[in-house]
Amino acid sequence: MHASNQVICQPLTEHAFAPYGWMLGKPLPAPAAAAVAFSNAATDFWQQHVFDAGAGGETEILWVNYRSTEPMIGTLEVHDLTEQALVPLTGPVLHVVARSRDDGSPDLASLRAFALHPGQGVCMRPGCWHASRVPEREAACLMLTRRSTTADLVRHLRGEADGTESRLATLATPFLLAT
Ligand SMILES: NC(=O)N[C@@H](O)C(=O)O
């Protein structure tokens, strides 16, 4: 939840993240036979989400390191075409999200922060504004995204071209990320 210009990190739950996308790491459904799932003495596997990279999109797997411990959130990023999944592998990530308003700008009343721990993650819908921090040390993460969105973002972040599939928003008043 957030008070004025402060957003408090909350535990990740399926319900709490539903306005922004899907929680990953939901438990094995019981009975496994009732879902897209399998379980035997050697293994369990069960569906978390069917990823959608958007029309014409190629799903891409990225390895991502986050290492910023900056508590002030002054910039948010959004991808307009694709879902984006983020799964921390080596340490926790503090993931800040906000929905889009009808005009495509961040709906700051919906700003929330979730603590993502290894073994769980999120898949954001297109249009979900976000920023990521770590509480202490660098965390390596697996990311599912759209190949063209990554190429477009790299060009944009290098200053080579304006972004066409992603946007950055500078907040008039930065938020303090509280844990
Ligand atoms: N690679 C990529 O798209 N990264 C961003 O979404 C980000 O927030 O890290």
* Å from CA of 66 to ligand 1 middle: 10
**CATH number of the CATH domain containing 22:** 2.60.120.480
String of DSSP letters for 31-94: SGGGSSEEE-SS-EEE--------TTPPEEEEEEEE-----EEEEEEEESS--EEEEESSS-EE
* Å from CA of 98 to ligand 1 middle: 15
Is position 45 within any domain? yes
Maximum Cα interatomic distance, the chain, rounded to a whole number of Å: 55
Name residues whose C-beta falls within 8 Å of residue 98's C-beta, 6 or more positions apart in sequence: 20, 76, 106, 107, 108, 110, 111, 112, 128, 129, 130
Is position 141 within any domain? yes
Is the complex ipTM more than 0.85?
Answer: yes
Say whether pLDDT at 173 is over 90: yes
**Domain range holding 114?**
6-178
Angle at 153 between CA 152 and CA 158, to 5 degrees: 105
Which helix (DSSP H) or strand (DSSP E) does residue 157 occupy? helix 147-157
Pocket flag, ligand 1, residue 120 (CB < 6 Å) = no
Nearest atom within ligand 1 for CA of residue 62 = 1
> What's the structural domain count of the chain?
1
pLDDT, tens digit, for every residue of 28-79?
Answer: 988 766 678 999 999 999 999 999 999 999 999 999 999 999 999 999 999 9
Is position 20 within any domain? yes
Is position 1 within any domain? no
Which helix (DSSP H) or strand (DSSP E) does residue 149 occupy? helix 147-157
* Å from CA of 39 to ligand 1 middle: 34
* Å from CA of 43 to ligand 1 middle: 32
pLDDT, tens digit, for every residue of 14-38?
Answer: 999 999 999 999 999 887 666 789 9
pLDDT, tens digit, for every residue of 76-109?
Answer: 999 999 999 999 999 999 999 999 999 999 999 9
The CA distance from 9 to 76, in Å, is: 16
Q: pTM for the whole thing?
A: 0.95
Is position 63 within any domain? yes
Nearest atom within ligand 1 for CA of residue 149 = 3
Q: Tell me the average pLDDT across 110-134.
A: 98
Is position 54 within any domain? yes
